Amino acid sequence: MASDDMHASQVLSSALPRPPKQLKKRLTRLFWIVLFIVAIFGASWHTESDLRQLFAGWHNMWRLLSQFLTPDWMYMKKVLPAVYETIRMAILGTTIGALLAIPIILLAARNVTKNKVIVFLSRTVMNLIRTIPELLFAAIFVAIVGIGAIAGILAIIFFSFAIIAKLTSESLETIDPGPLEAMTAVGASKLTWIRYAVMPQILPAFISYTLYVFEINVRTAAVLGLVGAGGIGVPLNTALAFLQYDRAASIILLIFIVVLLIEALSGALRRRLI
């Protein structure tokens, strides 16, 4: 008898209308799903892109992918000098960019530089440089200094300078103000204040960001060759231009291996130094 009553109550509860909160949640979820679908089709229509072409060209995509899956292993030996050039470009560009960023880091931090005009100008320079892609920098320097690694190094310098300065200056504004106030109270000079109160606190972040940017620059230097800025990107661009996808696959695989090794080495250095 009790089981019948329980079954009847379950049937009755299922027949009742859903609570308003649960219904509202379902309607909200449905609204966002419909909005997402409309946005996808709206973007496709606005850009005049037909999603059916993606599926129509599947056979060509598979043929191209099969060529990439058969790399030219012997060709890797020929492009090793370009890989070494790419790494050297990343090392030089990152190091010079990091050194140039040090004054801007101090000038852009509000707790170090009290002059609002200098802070504004420093941040404006950082933001302006950060808005320009490294490929555009490389193309500009190729036009100025010609094709070669110099243009790539200059592009990496500007990119590294802007990123390291931006990240480190923001970290500088969050350091412990206690040592700064103590040295100010005893009448320490500005250089002494920076050396003993600022640098010990900001140095770990500066090293960490520099190593992080170096990892990015290894990948960036591999792409800069597409516009003639030296490095492994030059033979990669040539292989793609002549439809030599087996050679392009070997270069991409080699870049992948180098990037993994660089990231492992950078991570080990970061753990040891910080």
Establish if 44 belongs to a structural domain.
Answer: no
Q: What is the pLDDT of residues 165-177, one digit of tens each?
A: 988 888 888 877 7
Query: Quick check: 186 pLDDT over 70?
Result: yes
Establish if 39 belongs to a structural domain.
Answer: no
CB 155 within 8 A of CB 226: no
The more confidently predicted of residues 54 and 151 is 151
Q: How confident is the model at residue 98 (pLDDT cuts 50, 70, 90)?
A: very high
Establish if 8 belongs to a structural domain.
Answer: no
Total-model pTM: 0.72
Establish if 53 belongs to a structural domain.
Answer: no
Query: Quick check: 207 pLDDT over 80?
Result: yes
Q: Average pLDDT of 133-146? A: 85
CATH number at residue 211: 1.10.3720.10
Q: How confident is the model at residue 50 (pLDDT cuts 50, 70, 90)?
A: low
Token readout for 213 is 């940017």
CB 252 within 8 A of CB 236: yes
Establish if 54 belongs to a structural domain.
Answer: no
The more confidently predicted of residues 61 and 108 is 108
Establish if 17 belongs to a structural domain.
Answer: no
Query: Quick check: 79 pLDDT over 90?
Result: no
Q: What is the pLDDT of residue 95?
A: 92
Per the rule left: phi > 0, alpha: psi between -120 and 50, beta: everything else, 96 is: alpha
Query: Quick check: 249 pLDDT over 80?
Result: yes
Establish if 35 belongs to a structural domain.
Answer: no
Q: Which domain holds residue 257?
A: 81-273
Establish if 178 belongs to a structural domain.
Answer: yes
Number of structural domains the chain divides into:
1
